[in-house]
Chain A
Amino acid sequence: GESVGLHLPTLSVQEGDNSIINCAYSNSASDYFIWYKQESGKGPQFIIDIRSNMDKRQGQRVTVLLNKTVKHLSLQIAATQPGDSAVYFCAENINTDKLIFGTGTRLQVFP
């Protein structure tokens, strides 16, 4: 199946610091991207999306940056809180046929 990764990379940050989660996507034809947050035992939760005609989009405490040249996406979380602890996935829309998910990054917030 189309999936990635057995071992989740982990990002550990101190409460109040900013977090940056990175994602490399696979298809240069992808034109739409989403970030999801998944807490243990729950379904993924939509955070923010961005189209390929933009390189930056901001939400509440979150910013997504898109670099099409190197096929790289990042999610920045400002003033990280304990409730932000979760696994974060990026997803790319390929030809509007499906959303393909990246490996996922585990974010751990410590006091």
Chain B
Amino acid sequence: EAGVTQSPTHLIKTRGQQVTLRCSPISGHTSVYWYQQALGLGLQFLLWYDEGEERNRGNFPPRFSGRQFPNYSSELNVNALELEDSALYLCASSKVRGERAFFGQGTRLTVV
């Protein structure tokens, strides 16, 4: 069974640009979570999608947004990139909301 997959694995963007990160959950999982992990720091909760709906979001500005598609895959969009957005963006999925979340390998975003 394939795990959570994220794309791309790495990317470099310029300040002010926009970026879209993608996540495919484990088959059968309907909940998708996004976390930001700045270098050397813990995981900050960004967004939670379940059954196509945004269920909760963390304390991030509106330029962080996303969506979940009918096949439960998800996108995270970040507009007007800032240098401090440089981080590892992690996606996780679970079959039961809030439980047994399994993570992908992350997308390393560097903003220059």
User: What is A's interface to B at a CB cutoff of 8 Å?
Assistant: 1-6, 8, 32, 34, 36, 42-46, 49, 89, 91, 93, 96-104
Contact = CB atoms under 8 A, between A and B. Distances in A.
Nearest to A95: B98
A2, A4, A100 — most chain B CB neighbours (10 Å): A2
Contacts of A97: 48, 55-56, 98
Interface residues of B, number: 29
Contacts of B92: 43-44, 99
B101 A99 contact: yes
A99 B98 contact: yes
The majority secondary structure among interface residues of chain B is: loop
A109 B7 CA distance: 32
Contact of B101 (A3, A34, A42, A102): A34
Contacts of B33: 98-99
Given A43-B104, A44-B90, A97-B48, A5 B42 contact: yes
B103 interface: yes
A96 B48 CA distance: 11
A100 B90 CA distance: 14
23 contacts: A2-B45, A3-B41, A3-B45, A6-B40, A6-B41, A8-B40, A34-B99, A34-B100, A34-B101, A43-B90, A43-B105, A44-B92, A45-B103, A46-B101, A46-B102, A96-B99, A97-B98, A98-B33, A98-B56, A98-B98, A99-B101, A100-B45, A101-B43
